[in-house]
A and B are shown apart, each in its own frame.
Chain A
Amino acid sequence: METDQLIRTLAADNSQRARPVGFVLALALVAAAPVSILMFFMTLGVRPDVMTAMHNPFFDLKFAVTLALAIAAIAVSLHLSRPEALLRGWALLLLVPAGLLAAGIGGEMMVPQRLPMMTRLVGQNSRVCMTAIPLISLPLLAGALIGLRHGAPAHPAVAGAIAGMLSAGLAATMYASHCTDDSPLFVATWYSVATALVAAIGALAGSRVLRF
């Protein structure tokens, strides 16, 4: 086909307009969420003492951190869905959850603790945490990648890694309501390991499926 013919054809197709990437991403995440929620309630569920736990600021901080991660990653992945976008200052957004955690660790140092630091860091649920967060995040990751395929990221692996963080953030929000380890030291260690794992899976998958 000659290029002039192709151009004429594209112009004829101009009336077909696609939805914004944000809309498609939201739709895909809403579709994927029930699968992850079901996985969570079938295997783990909310911890029984959740009503008292809510009065513990370190329990609440977990949600602030994981939600900050999810929201920052959503914003960054939408930004990166434009081909000319650069990560640059946007990467700073991803430091917001890290900053919250650092503040939490500092805060915990201020108050006297029953358990020594290493015990709090190692916790009792590290293995569950590192397994559950990645597994629960997989349906969300699939949804995020399907939504972001609608965009045109210049660096598919980077965009995929951010999609991984996004889904890990959402999965960790659910997991946080199950886990009885509330120390920010535990969160900084094991949630980060789990998030890094999902980000790596996302990068690998993204380098394949997010090319346009």
Chain B
Amino acid sequence: MRERDDEWTGLMRLAISGDNAAYHRLLKAVTPVLRAAARRGLARAGQPVDQSEDIVQDILLAVHLKRHTWDTEAPFAPWLFAIGRNKLIDALRRRGRRIFVNIDDFAETIPGEAVAETAPAGEVAAHLQSLPARQREVLQSIAVDSASIRDTAAKFSMTEGAVRVALHRALASLTAKLREQ
């Protein structure tokens, strides 16, 4: 656990200093842990555990847009789990459940936990439709078609800077829509 946390902290430091590959690896590494914790939280609230993926995506978006609140001198895991807990509480509240989030839901992860069936997430995709056309196109080009920023810029005859701005705005407004629902 200790090693894992140190690895995450190291990756996040690299990410903050501009290493996109390290950031990608970090998000990949935390996702199964977040998923397992979300499932535990849902199970505890008597909710179907296969609904975890929307919560996972909600957490990842918040991590991304609030990463400037992480203190690079502090360990990464407590910050990550605080955001996870917050988003799990939100999700349960939206489902009208009494809130009972065990603070250990995120902190403890049983290694090798069986990967059970998970329903695909639907909330982000649903809000995608309400984005301005250009933002949606840019987001889909990068997310779904795995195009790079440069390829996307060429495809839509935009500058790379404009693509970056459109992508960031798309992510920010998706997050705002998730929060308001």
- A residues with a Cβ closer than 8 A to B are 1-21, 81-84, 150-152, 154, 211-212
Asked whether A14 lies within 8 Å of B15 as measured between CB atoms, the reply is yes
Contacts of A18 in B (CB 8 A): 65, 67-68
CA distance A11 to B148 in the complex (A): 11
The residue that A12 contacts in the complex, of B28, B85, B167, with Cβ under 8 A, is: B167
A4 to B86, CA, bound (A): 22
CB distance from A23 to the nearest CB of B (A): 10
Counting CB contacts under 8 A, is B143 at the interface?
Answer: yes
Cβ of A154 and Cβ of B144 under 8 Å apart? no
Q: How far is the CB of B120 from chain A (nearest CB, A)?
A: 7
B62 in complex: contacting residue of A3, A4, A152, CB < 8 Å: A152
Q: Please tell me if the beta carbons of B83 and A152 are within 8 angstroms of each other in the complex.
A: yes
- At the interface, yes or no: B146 with Cβ under 8 Å from chain A? yes
Distance A139 CA – B142 CA, assembled complex (angstroms): 41
The residue from A10, A12, A17, A211 contacting B68, defined by CB atoms under 8 A apart: A17
Q: How far is the CB of B17 from chain A (nearest CB, A)?
A: 10
Bound-state CA distance A1–B144 (Å) is 8
Q: B130 interface residue, CB < 8 Å from A?
A: no
Shortest Cβ gap from A11 to chain B (Å): 4
Does B45 touch A at the CB level, under 8 Å?
Answer: no
Q: A1-B144, A84-B81 are in contact. List 13 more A-B contacts (CB 8 A).
A: A1-B125, A6-B61, A7-B27, A8-B142, A9-B142, A10-B23, A12-B149, A81-B69, A82-B71, A84-B79, A84-B82, A152-B62, A152-B66
A66 to B133 Cα, complex, angstroms: 50
Chain B residues bordering chain A, tally (CB within 8 A): 50
- B121 in the interface (beta carbon within 8 A): yes
| Residue pair A83, B79 in contact (C-beta under 8 Å) | yes
Q: Is the interface of B mostly helix, strand, loop or mixed?
A: helix
- In the complex, the answer to whether B28 meets A83 with C-beta atoms within 8 Å is no
Mark contacts of B1-19 with chain A using CB atoms, 8 A cut-off: 1 yes-contact digit, 0 otherwise: 0000000000000011010
Closest Cβ of chain B to A8, distance in Å, is 7
Partner of A212, one of B28, B56, B62, B148: B62
A1-B179 in contact (CB<8A): no
Q: Nearest A residue to B24 by beta-carbon distance?
A: A11
Residue B33 at the chain A interface, CB threshold 8 Å = no
Q: Which residues of B contact A21 (CB under 8 A)?
A: 68-69
Q: Show 11 residue pairs from A and B whose CB-CB distance is below 8 angstroms, ordered by the A residue.
A: A5-B143, A7-B24, A9-B142, A14-B15, A16-B167, A17-B16, A18-B65, A81-B69, A83-B83, A84-B78, A212-B62
Q: Tell me the minimal C-beta distance from A50 to chain B in angstroms.
A: 42
Partner of B64, one of A10, A15, A211: A10
CB distance from A141 to the nearest CB of B (A): 21
A13 / chain B contacts, CB cutoff of 8 Å: 64, 164, 167-168, 171
Contact present for A8 and B24 (CB under 8 Å): yes
Q: Which residues of A contact B168 (CB under 8 A)?
A: 13, 16
Within the assembled complex, what's the spacing in Å between the Cα atoms of A7 and B142?
Answer: 11
B53 at the interface (CB under 8 A from A): yes
B166 CB, nearest partner CB in chain A, Å: 10
* A82 B24 Cβ-Cβ under 8 A: no
Tell me if A1 and B31 are in contact (CB < 8 A).
no
The 6 closest A-B pairs by CB, nearest first: A11-B24, A84-B82, A83-B82, A152-B66, A18-B68, A5-B143
